[in-house]
Amino acid sequence: MAKNLTGEQKAAILLRAIGEEAAAQVMKQLDPKEIKKLGSFMNGTANISRDEEEAVISDFQTASATGGIQFQGKEFIKTVLTKALGPEKAGRIIESMTQKSYPGLEALKWVDVKTLTQMLKVEHAQTVAVVLANLESDQAGQVLSALPEDMRGDVAIRLATMEEVQPDVLEELSETLQETLLASKEMGAQSVGGAEVIANILMRMDKTNEGGIMTRISEKSQTLADNIRALMFVFDDIVKVDDRGMQELMKEISKDDLPVALRGANPDVKEKFFKNMSSRAAEMLKDDMETRGPVKISDVERAQQNILKVCRKLEEENRIVIAGVGEEML
């Protein structure tokens, strides 16, 4: 059994076997990516039998005995790390165990890229370079890519030419980062903008100003403009379309979308459609809705969005009027 396992799987079984205290000492020396990898393997060892566990331990003891390694202290940790991660990575981690720890820098390895980028983009390029040098390569690469374009080159040059950083500089930087992280946790994230905010503002403006602003947004990002338009007019707002507009709308929308979209609509919206159809058409639509069986929420939302796109198109062409959207009602 043990011969068919990878090094990571064997390490996960060993960590479970050596007990919580010893395993904790090993895990303290791993970076977040390695902990996640070993953690996933440890979750997968829940159904390992005693015989299988003993086979892994036996392999471990044989390999350790060959090298004359004692099962205690740092040598024990060295053996576990080497078996789990290979000599090169284990050597790097073991070396870091003898170096001074900088909690503020270490804590950044657990911060998401977006938050970390927001923190660093106001810092000096040299400070950013020092921070990136202390992150894992993939995390550092994501942060560097997310930094403002005019910063990236300067940071990259400083990172490439940096050789040594004095301990007192690292100590001061670590303390500052700890204070920043602590302050951000206490304050919490606060939403101050976004597509929903501008949508709410535009809905209260006159058509001329709304149209001018949306044109500028569309020039910068059509996707953003579409998101804002979607927030400005939701499916329930169809009740604001006048009867003539409803009849125009029903000429344009897909007959396949309508019964699906109405499955998730409120009664007022359903009634708005039914009363603008002939009695026979309304009965046929109701029968269609009842005989379709269960419908996925994602399908309902997709059908509603398709109908809303037609609404917006007809409104832009002045073929329908949506009362209360972008104008005051008298």
103-187 adopts what CATH topology? Annexin V; domain 1 (1.10.220)
User: pLDDT at position 189, please?
Assistant: 46
Structure tokens at 137: 């390569």
293: left (phi over 0), alpha (psi -120 to 50) or beta: left
How does residue 221 score in pLDDT terms, banded at 50, 70 and 90? confident
Domains 103-187 and 234-330 share a fold: yes
Q: Please, what is the end-to-end C-alpha distance for the chain in angstroms?
A: 80
Which is higher by pLDDT, 280 or 213?
A: 280
Q: What is the pLDDT of residue 224?
A: 82
CATH class as words, domain 234-330? mainly alpha
Domain ranges of the chain: 2-97, 103-187, 192-232, 234-330
- Provide the pLDDT for residue 49: 67
pLDDT tens figures, 148-195: 888 888 888 888 887 677 777 777 877 777 777 665 554 344 444 567
Task: In whole angstroms, give the CA distance from residue 282 to residue 187.
Answer: 54
Q: Which 8-state DSSP code applies to residue 59?
A: H
**pLDDT for residue 110:** 74
Please tell me the total number of residues recorded for the chain in this structure.
330
Q: What is the pLDDT of residue 93?
A: 58
76-110 residue pLDDT tens: 556 666 666 667 766 665 555 545 556 767 777 77
Judge contact between 317 and 311, C-beta under 8 A.
no
Question: Helices 32-43 and 7-17, interaxial angle, to 10°?
Answer: 80
Q: Name the H helices within the chain.
A: 7-17, 20-27, 32-43, 50-66, 73-85, 87-97, 103-107, 113-120, 125-133, 137-146, 149-161, 167-187, 195-202, 207-220, 222-232, 243-252, 257-263, 267-274, 279-291, 297-316
Report how far apart, in Å, the C-alpha atoms of 120 and of each of 102, 110, 131, 181, 182 are: 17, 15, 9, 12, 15
CA–CA separation, 235 vs 269, rounded Å? 8
Q: How far is CA 73 from CA 34, 65, 93, 236, 325, in A?
A: 21, 16, 15, 67, 71
pLDDT of residue 186: 45
Question: Cα(122)–Cα(115) distance, rounded to whole angstroms?
Answer: 12
Q: What is the mean pLDDT of the chain?
A: 75
Residue 265 per-residue DSSP state: S
Within 8 A by CB and 6+ apart from 16, the residues are 23, 42, 45, 48, 53
Of 211 and 250, the structure prediction assigns the larger pLDDT to 250
Residue 212 pLDDT > 90: no
C-alpha dihedral over 43, 46, 47, 53, to 10 degrees?
A: 100
- Name 165's Cβ contacts closer than 8 Å, sequence gap at least 6: 130, 133
We find that the CATH architecture of domain 192-232 is Up-down Bundle (1.20)
Q: Which residues pair with 97 in a beta bridge?
A: none
Does residue 43 register a pLDDT over 70?
no
Q: 32-39: long-range contacts at Cβ-Cβ below 8 A with a sequence spacing of 24 or more?
A: 32/109, 32/110, 32/136, 33/136, 33/138, 34/85, 34/89, 37/8, 38/8, 38/11, 38/12, 38/84
Section 6-34 average pLDDT: 69
Token pair of 103, please? 């909690």
Most confident of 23-32, 113-122, 191-200: 113-122
- Specify which residues 241 forms β-bridges with: 322
Q: Mean of the pLDDT values across residues 256-265?
A: 90
Choose between 178 and 222: higher pLDDT.
222
36 or 302, greater pLDDT:
302
- HSE on the CB side for 253, CA within 13 Å? 25
Tens digits of residue pLDDT in 308-317: 889 888 887 8
pLDDT band at residue 264, thresholds of 50, 70 and 90? confident
Look at residue 1 in the predicted model and tell me its pLDDT. Answer: 44
Question: Where residue 140 falls among pLDDT bands split at 50, 70, 90?
Answer: confident
